[in-house]
Amino acid sequence: MGRVFARLLMMVLAASVSVTPAATAQPKFTLQDVPNPMVVEAADVGRFGGTFVTASISDPRTFNVLVAQETSSTAPLANLFEGLVETNRSTTEVEPSLAESWTVSRDGRTWQFKLRKGVTWFDGKPLTADDVVFTLDAAFTEGVQSSLKDVLTIAGKRIGYRKIDAQTVEFKTEEPFGPFLRTIGFSIVPKHKLESALKAGAAEFNRTWGVNTNPREIIGNGPFMMHTYTPGQRILFVRNSKYWRVDKRGQRLPYLARQVIEIVPNQDAQRLKFMARETDSYGARPREFAELRAQQQAGNFTIFDGPPTFSTEFLVLNQNPAGVRAPKLTWFQNLRFRQAISHAIDRESIARQVYAGRATPQFSPVSPANKFFYNANTKKYNYDVATAERLLREAGFAKGTDGFLRDSAGNVVEFVISTNAENNDRVAIGNLVRQDLTKLGMRVTFAPEAFNTLVGKLTGSFQWEAIIIGLTGGLEPHTGQNVWKSAGSLHMWWPKQEKAATEWEAEIDRLYDQAATTIDQNKRKQLYNRWQEIIAEQVPMVFFTTVLTQPAFRNTLANFSPAPLAFFDVETIYYRTPYR
Amino acid sequence: MLRHIAGRLLNLIPMLLGITVVSFVIIQLSPGDFLAEMRLNPIVSQATVDQMRANFGLDQPLHIQYLRWLWNAARLEFGYSFAFQVPVTWLIGSRFLNSLLLGVISFTVAWLVAIPIGIYTARRQYTWVDNTVSLWAYVGISTPTFFSGLFLLYLAFKTGWFPIGGLTSIDYEFLPWWGKLLDKAHHLILPGVVLSILGVAGLMRQMRASLLEVLRQDYVRTARSKGLAERVVVNRHAVRNAINPLITIFGFGLGGLWGGAAILETVMGYPGIGKLLLDATIQKDLYVVMAALVIGSVTLVIGNLIADVMLVVSDPRIRYD
């Protein structure tokens, strides 16, 4: 009996493995209301005060963080709302935020998060597990326009969640979910403020906390509270005096007294305001780098040879039988044809002419900005017209006496490349690509069109031949599964396949499924490395370049530094001199 | 007269119906819908996009959607914006006054400047003054607003005399009432100048042409030979006749006052309604566009009505009944 009991006890103990980040034995500092505040590492201990002014290209569309999709809304709301975990801007590791610790079971399917005690909302009510549960209830409610439900639905099944006690929440997944920690950092909303809206129905909830709400009603627990919003002009934030993070000396953050987001719809006007010292940060365009670098002294700012973006841009050929017919279908489905095109594109020229040299050739679907998952050892396609022509000959293509390329059946290789006309960079790239492909003897027409038309073709009718388009990326490759899995609706070259059309697409499906259910991040990296190798080898998408960013900051600011995700944390940035 | 006015106002109703039906059909039939951006987002599943489509009522047949909109519009409920999820009336109202302010100021300045200059250059036809002013008028008409806007912004940056776009300063909230007025006035100078120049150029040429034609008439020669002073001949007799076509233009201008100049607002960051409506049109934010069309049609008709009434007052030859 005792032995059975002992064995049971061993099983129970073995089933839970504590994975607590950093030492939690004794909190380094204590605040009167928060026994274990989060300590934020920063270079300096800053001075308090000041107003940080930045510019945004457009107005926020909503103040409801669950419904917000675009940066103009999520960026201001990031000042007010926090999640269970967050990503460190320098190390890109997942760190505790509203949760102070968590455990995961040995089988990787059950997670328990312990909330930080003493955290209160702006109106003084405490944060509890009820708020976490409510946020998920709202996200999963039918009709609520939250993309969170898609992120937290794994292989068709919703993530399981329940409250254990006031400070503990438990999550359960059917299979161990590799990207779990990166997807559980969503913003938590207060139940006591939004409960009645959710009860009134999904349509009503979508409209709650819209931009017509009094900003002081938007209750969060982040470093800043929204004070006023003047449509078309600015948003004003004031410091949250009950914030639950401290600096390395135990002082309550944030340092800044106020923040202002000016709404400046024109990039040139933003630059003028930055030069006139009305704003203190500016995301310069690639062409402006050299010029602004020369003006650093005069304008009292520093411009950084910043990290690359997470986005990718590429040419994709339609391999969908429902979209193109022979002979074009045969060409696009031919591996050597695609590889030849990749060799024939002069990426250096694109980097020079479109991005003033502030771009590097790209061959993998993952941007080098994603330091952890980027695979630098994929197949490269150097600019080599001779190799391109050889590959085409091997595939049965031949250049006629009139200079045009013909396939083995004698058809002239001609097709149309489109892109969205509103994006000047893509239009410039398209023109360069057309010229490059004409050297091979292909008759290529470049026809930019309206964004709506393009999307209709890509996702609806599939009646397109070649498109130049881009994708934003992130830290977690799994979020792109709609693009890379053969059944995905955004699997651009042949969406929604019932069964994988080729062996390599089937392999990618397997890799993605396996990576989703593997907890060990290094094992996942191996799987995604293989995926990148396959894509680079098979080139369903011909990638062009990765573009560099060049952020500029006023020298009176301190506690900012180059980092992959962001250059500063809003709670530790401060002004060296009394300013504004 | 009153019967005529009443008749014109009643005409609004079938006209509005016609305009809204045609616009509704065209917007819906053009490729794509508001959810185009969402479809290209890898994180959002097809199911969620379809759900959103249902939420917005975009999966219903066209005539149902239109009738539903019409029924609500008749009760002055213009629906919700897809992009912002706020009532369309709030959205338009939040910037309407800003556009109206800029519109009224530029309109007034343009007319006050254009009419005298037009008269002056007509009287001194082909002198060097006339030629110089004409040249600048052509320059004014040809310069696109985004160019002049950017140029003036750059000027503001270099000289520091004017604010770089916007309508208010950062510390606007903390100013006394007269400070607020001065602050807004200071910000209105540059966008006002851009719009006024555009207006002055065209109006001045129109006034000049119209007056020149009148000055050639026989009765003007008669008036002169009667011994009347040139000033009286021109200002009391000729101008009153020449002003007719301009009153019509005035009416159209009144109708367009609130519409805002989208490009100028984008360039100068002026929080007006033009940019809002342009974005809504591009994104196919259906109900915002429909509400804007209704407002636009109504103001246009009323503006023309006012012009026609003014014509009756100004020209005794014109009668409607």
A195 touches chain B (CB under 8 A): no
**A459 CA to chain B: closest CA distance, Å?**
7
B48 touches chain A (CB under 8 A): yes
Model pLDDT for residues A255-305, shown as the tens digit of each residue: 999 999 999 999 999 999 999 999 999 999 999 999 999 999 999 999 999
Number of C-beta neighbours around residue B208 at 10 A: 24
Per-residue pLDDT, averaged over A505-516, amounts to 94
Task: State the DSSP H helix or E strand holding residue A496, giving kind and residue range, or none if neither.
Answer: none
Give Cβ neighbours of residue A512 (< 8 Å, ≥ 6 apart): A478, A481, A484, A485, A531
- Crossing angle of the two packed helices A347-355 and A424-439, in degrees rounded to 10: 150
Check residue A426 and give its pLDDT. 95
Check residue B198 and give its pLDDT. 85
Check residue A27 and give its pLDDT. 67
pLDDT at A8 over 70: no
Which residues between 118 and 177 in chain B have a beta carbon less than 8 angstroms from any beta carbon of chain A?
150, 153-154, 156-157, 160, 164-168, 170, 173
B27 touches chain A (CB under 8 A): no
User: What are the helix (H) ranges across A208-361?
Assistant: 267-275, 289-294, 296-299, 328-333, 335-344, 347-355
CB pair distance less than 8 Å for B32 and A451: yes
Do you find a cis peptide bond into A254, omega within 30 degrees of 0? yes
Q: A315: burial class by Cβ within 10 Å (0-12, 13-18, 19+)?
A: buried
CB pair distance less than 8 Å for A150 and B45: yes
pLDDT at A387 over 90: yes
Estimate to the nearest angstrom the gap between the alpha carbon of B219 and the chain centroid.
37
Give Cβ neighbours of residue B106 (< 8 Å, ≥ 6 apart): B191, B192, B195, B196, B199
Q: In whole angstroms, give the CA distance from residue B19 to residue B294.
A: 8
**A458 CA to chain B: closest CA distance, Å?**
9
Q: What is the largest CA-CA distance in chain A?
A: 92
Are B268 and B149 in contact, with CB atoms under 8 Å apart? yes
What residues pair up with A157 in beta bridges, in sequence order? A154
DSSP assignment of B181-193, as one string?
HHHHHHHHHHHHH
Mean pLDDT lowest for which of A14-28, A158-172, B158-172? A14-28
DSSP assignment of A225-247, as one string?
EEEEEETTTEEEEEE-TT-SEE-
Check residue A4 and give its pLDDT. 59
Are A45 and A33 in contact, with CB atoms under 8 Å apart? no
Check residue A5 and give its pLDDT. 58
- Least Cα distance to A187 among A70, A302, A293, A66 occurs for A66
CB pair distance less than 8 Å for A145 and B275: no
Cα separations (Å) of B108 from A45, B113, B152, B192, B298?
56, 8, 21, 10, 21
Q: What percent of chain A has pLDDT over 90?
A: 78
Q: In whole angstroms, give the CA distance from residue A419 to residue A464.
A: 11
Q: B274: burial class by Cβ within 10 Å (0-12, 13-18, 19+)?
A: buried
CB pair distance less than 8 Å for A64 and B41: no
Are A543 and A364 in contact, with CB atoms under 8 Å apart? yes
Check residue A6 and give its pLDDT. 53
Which of B32, B55, B95 is the closest to A203 by Cβ? B55
Model pLDDT for residues A425-453, shown as the tens digit of each residue: 999 999 999 999 999 999 999 999 988 88
Q: In whole angstroms, give the CA distance from residue A511 to residue A486.
A: 12
Q: Tokens 């530790």 — which residue?
A: A572
- Least Cα distance to A41 among A486, A575, A569 occurs for A569
- To the nearest whole number, what is the mean pLDDT of chain A? 91
Per-residue confidence band for A26, with pLDDT thresholds at 50, 70 and 90: low
Q: In whole angstroms, give the CA distance from residue B279 to residue B289.
A: 10
Check residue B55 and give its pLDDT. 83
Q: In whole angstroms, give the CA distance from residue A232 to residue B33.
A: 25
Contacts of B153 in chain A (CB under 8 A): 268-269, 272
User: What are the helix (H) ranges across A115-164?
Assistant: 129-140, 148-151
Q: A5: burial class by Cβ within 10 Å (0-12, 13-18, 19+)?
A: exposed
Model pLDDT for residues A478-494, shown as the tens digit of each residue: 989 889 999 988 999 99
**B28 CA to chain A: closest CA distance, Å?**
12
Do you find a cis peptide bond into A223, omega within 30 degrees of 0? no
Are A168 and A113 in contact, with CB atoms under 8 Å apart? yes
Length reported for chain B: 321
CB pair distance less than 8 Å for B33 and A452: yes
Q: Are strands A405-406 and A398-399 parallel, antiparallel or unpaired?
A: antiparallel
pLDDT at A237 over 80: yes
> How crowded is the C-beta side of A445, counted as CA atoms within 13 Å?
7
> How crowded is the C-beta side of A96, counted as CA atoms within 13 Å?
23
CB pair distance less than 8 Å for B55 and A490: no
Cα separations (Å) of A300 from A259, A274, B117?
20, 10, 47
pLDDT at A121 over 50: yes
Q: What percent of chain A has pLDDT over 70?
A: 95
A150 touches chain B (CB under 8 A): yes
What residues pair up with A86 in beta bridges, in sequence order? A95
Which of B52, B153, B284 is the closest to A269 by Cβ? B153
Check residue A199 and give its pLDDT. 95
Q: In whole angstroms, give the CA distance from residue B7 to residue B18.
A: 17
**A274 CA to chain B: closest CA distance, Å?**
10
Check residue A20 and give its pLDDT. 46
A278 touches chain B (CB under 8 A): yes
Task: State the DSSP H helix or E strand holding residue A556, giving kind and residue range, or none if neither.
Answer: none
Check residue A347 and give its pLDDT. 96
Q: In whole angstroms, give the CA distance from residue A568 to residue A563.
A: 8
Estimate to the nearest angstrom the gap between the alpha carbon of A29 and the chain centroid.
33
Nearest CA in chain B to A273: B164
Determine phi and psi for B22, rounding to 5 degrees: -60, -45
B51 touches chain A (CB under 8 A): yes
Model pLDDT for residues A394-421, shown as the tens digit of each residue: 999 999 899 999 999 999 999 999 999 9
* Cα three-residue angle B155-B160-B165, rounded to 5 degrees: 65
Task: State the DSSP H helix or E strand holding residue B67, giving kind and residue range, or none if neither.
Answer: helix B62-74
Q: In whole angstroms, give the CA distance from residue B36 to residue B321.
A: 53
Check residue A17 and give its pLDDT. 45
B32 touches chain A (CB under 8 A): yes
Architecture of domain B95-283: Orthogonal Bundle (1.10)
Q: In whole angstroms, give the CA distance from residue A59 to residue A18.
A: 44
Contacts of A480 in chain B (CB under 8 A): 42
User: What are the helix (H) ranges across A345-423?
Assistant: 347-355, 385-394
Structure tokens at A77: 């709301």
Q: B230: burial class by Cβ within 10 Å (0-12, 13-18, 19+)?
A: exposed
A480 touches chain B (CB under 8 A): yes
In chain B, where are the structural domains located?
Answer: 95-283
Backbone conformation region of residue B294, classed left if phi is above 0, alpha if psi is from -120 to 50, else beta: alpha
Q: What is the largest CA-CA distance in chain B?
A: 85
CB pair distance less than 8 Å for A147 and B86: no
- Number of A–B residue contacts, CB under 8 Å: 153
Number of C-beta neighbours around residue B74 at 10 A: 8
Q: Are strands A38-39 and A466-471 parallel, antiparallel or unpaired?
A: unpaired
- Least Cα distance to A244 among A73, A115, A65, A78 occurs for A115
Which residues between 437 and 476 in chain A have a beta carbon less than 8 angstroms from any beta carbon of chain B?
450-453, 455-456, 458-459, 469, 471
pTM metric for this prediction: 0.88
Which of A61, A153, A233 is the closest to B271 by Cβ? A233
Q: Tokens 């595939």 — which residue?
A: A395
Q: In whole angstroms, give the CA distance from residue A300 to residue A323.
A: 55
**B98 CA to chain A: closest CA distance, Å?**
10
Per residue of chain B (321 residues), give pLDDT as tens.
788 888 888 888 898 899 999 999 998 888 878 888 888 887 788 888 888 888 888 888 888 999 999 999 989 889 999 999 899 999 999 999 999 999 999 999 999 999 999 988 888 888 998 899 889 888 888 888 889 999 999 999 999 999 998 999 998 988 999 999 999 999 999 999 999 988 888 899 899 999 999 988 888 888 889 888 888 888 888 888 888 889 989 988 888 888 778 899 999 999 999 999 998 988 889 999 999 989 888 888 888 888 888 888 888 888 776
The dihedral sign for the CA sequence A491, A497, A503, A509: positive
Length reported for chain A: 580
Are A244 and A251 in contact, with CB atoms under 8 Å apart? no
Contacts of B164 in chain A (CB under 8 A): 269, 272-273, 276, 278
